């Protein structure tokens, strides 16, 4: 039981860390858009490669699309990440609590 409990807790901790790191990459992407970085820089290319697929899907879903001067897609993605982390915390707490007492 202790091994299963630790494994489940590790999985939830890893998911929280991945979401936290992705949120910061989204923030860095938004900040980089203000300075017009070198598109051939490997770090910039990596950030674009892992953020653009998600941001593009959000831009398509937004009702006003790209008509605004300000791109709201990073803010929407960060809010979605916060929501997913909240749900993960809730599920983790109740699942581990159930696992401890059964």
pLDDT of residue 65: 57
How far apart are alpha carbons 98 and 15 in whole angstroms?
Answer: 20
Distance of CA 8 to the CA centre of its chain: 20
Closest by CA position to 72, among listed 93, 91, 55:
55
**Tens of pLDDT along 68-82?**
677 889 999 999 999
The residue ranges of the chain whose pLDDT is under 70 are 1, 64-68, 100, 102
What distances in angstroms separate CA 70 from CA 51, 55, 66, 84, one per listed residue?
A: 17, 13, 8, 25
Question: pTM of this prediction?
Answer: 0.84
Radius of gyration of the chain (CA): 18
Report whether 71 contacts 77 (CB < 8 A): no
């Amino acid at each position: 039981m202790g091994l299963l409990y630790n494994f489940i807790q590790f999985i939830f901790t890893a998911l929280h860390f991945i979401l936290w790191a992705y949120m910061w990459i989204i923030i860095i992407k938004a900040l980089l858009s203000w300075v017009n970085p070198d598109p051939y820089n490997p770090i910039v290319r990596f950030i674009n490669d892992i953020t653009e697929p998600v941001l593009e899907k959000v831009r398509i879903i937004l009702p006003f699309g790209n008509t605004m001067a300000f791109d709201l897609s990073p803010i929407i993605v960060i809010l979605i990440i916060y929501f997913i982390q909240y749900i993960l915390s809730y599920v983790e707490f109740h699942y581990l609590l159930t696992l401890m007492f059964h």
